[in-house]
Structure 1
Amino acid sequence: MELVEVKNTKAEWSRLERLYTGAFPAGERFPFSLLKKRALSGKADFWNLVEEGDWVGMAYLVRHEDLVYLFYFAVDAEKRGLGHGTAAIKAMLERYKGKRFFLALENWCEECDNPEERNKRHDFYLNCGLSDIPYKLWELSMKYRLMGVGGKVEPEEYKLMMGRYFGWFWKHFIRSCIVKE
């Protein structure tokens, strides 16, 4: 699996936006134009996931000092279940080796309409080498649990990272924080 930097072309941005809007519910998405702008300004890494020359998905990561937050990760629907997700996570862990790498996912411990899907997703990340981090993340109107490698993420570090990423927008419009479980 290769992490290939996104080229600044209309066709590539269109492909990424289609996957992004198809893979994530509206309530969990920031405007794609914001993601693009932050990636182009160097505040995030936007990767194409490529397996043997074939595009299979995308990864969008926010960085700050030794923190790396896998903000969005998706494999194309037609290419799921073939090991591409596992290969992509392993490639990212190698790329960001020595960093504290983390992600947020729907709470697999709470009552919900899709417990099997949430547990399957949690097991997937466990099998990729990530561990549970004893914090919850509140972002937009959603509540998530954290998983990662390399050490825990402190609430103040998260606040600094996301403040750097979003700037004034963060302070005035986004309600997000990490709290201990």
Structure 2
Amino acid sequence: MTVVLKRVNNENIDEIKKIYDDSFPKEEMVPYNKLVEISNDTDHLFYGIYDDYTLVGMNYLIVKNDMLYIFYLAISKAYQNKGYGKAVVNEIINKYSNYRICLNIEEVNPKFLNNNQRIKRKSFYQLLGFESQDYLFSNYEGVTFETMSIYGDVSYKEIHALFDYFKKLR
């Protein structure tokens, strides 16, 4: 399996939107057209994830100083549990090893109906080397997340600044 990241473009924009819409709850989404609009080649990187010529997922990365934030990462339901998520995260870790890499996962807590899914997601990232930053953060819709990172700590203030930026786009 070889995963390749290809920028969102006119040829794949609709297929990537479908993966985005199918993968994230509304209260965790920035309007898709805004993501496309602000994506570029420097600090807002919006990609389709391909295995050869087959679109298997999407991700949105933000580069800020010495930090890379994995804002969105989703594998299409048809390709889940086939190793693509691990391959993409490893590709990101290798490509951006000079950066502190971070992401947010939904809070792990037994009060949530999908807590087992949340536990599996956290374990997945831990197996890849990510560590909890030991704080919780709520987005503008009240969804609570835990920040995880690899290659260095990421402060609450840094995550808050990213979410403030995206709050303005809603």
Same fold (TM over 0.5): yes
In the alignment, is the contact (CA less than 8 A) between 1:3 and 1:47 conserved in 2? no
Q: Residue 63 and residue 162 in structure 1: after superposition, are their counterparts in 2 closer, same or farther (change >3 A)? A: farther
Structure 2 unaligned residues grouped into runs of 5+: none
One-letter identity of the residue aligned with 2:95:
R
CA distance in 2, matches of 1:112, 1:13: 33
CA distance in 2, matches of 1:20, 1:152: 28
Q: What's the offset of the Cα at 1:85?
A: 0.7
Q: Which residue of 1 aligns with 2:155?
A: 154
Q: What number of residue pairs does the alignment pair up?
A: 168
In the alignment, is the contact (CA less than 8 A) between 1:64 and 1:161 conserved in 2? no
Q: Which residue of 2 aligns with 1:145?
A: 146
One-letter identity of the residue aligned with 1:131:
E
One-letter identity of the residue aligned with 2:158:
E
One-letter identity of the residue aligned with 1:152:
D
CA distance in 2, matches of 1:7, 1:115: 32
Q: Residue 110 and residue 68 in structure 1: after superposition, are their counterparts in 2 closer, same or farther (change >3 A)? A: farther
In the alignment, is the contact (CA less than 8 A) between 2:107 and 2:144 conserved in 1? yes
CA distance in 1, matches of 2:79, 2:98: 30
One-letter identity of the residue aligned with 2:19:
L
Once the two structures are superposed, residues 129-154 of structure 1 have per-residue CA deviations (whole angstroms, 9 ceiling, x without a partner) of 21111121211221101111011112
Once the two structures are superposed, residues 3-51 of structure 1 have per-residue CA deviations (whole angstroms, 9 ceiling, x without a partner) of 4231421x31111111100111111111001111111474411122122
In the alignment, is the contact (CA less than 8 A) between 1:49 and 1:58 conserved in 2? yes
TM-score computed with the length of structure 2 as normaliser: 0.88
Q: Residue 98 and residue 42 in structure 1: after superposition, are their counterparts in 2 closer, same or farther (change >3 A)? A: closer
In the alignment, is the contact (CA less than 8 A) between 1:103 and 1:147 conserved in 2? yes
Identity across aligned pairs (percent)? 23
Q: Residue 135 and residue 88 in structure 1: after superposition, are their counterparts in 2 closer, same or farther (change >3 A)? A: same
Instruction: Verify: 1:33 aligned to 2:33, yes or no.
Output: yes
TM-score computed with the length of structure 1 as normaliser: 0.83
RMSD: 2.1
Q: Which residue of 2 aligns with 1:5?
A: 6
Once the two structures are superposed, residues 55-82 of structure 1 have per-residue CA deviations (whole angstroms, 9 ceiling, x without a partner) of 2111101110011111110001101111
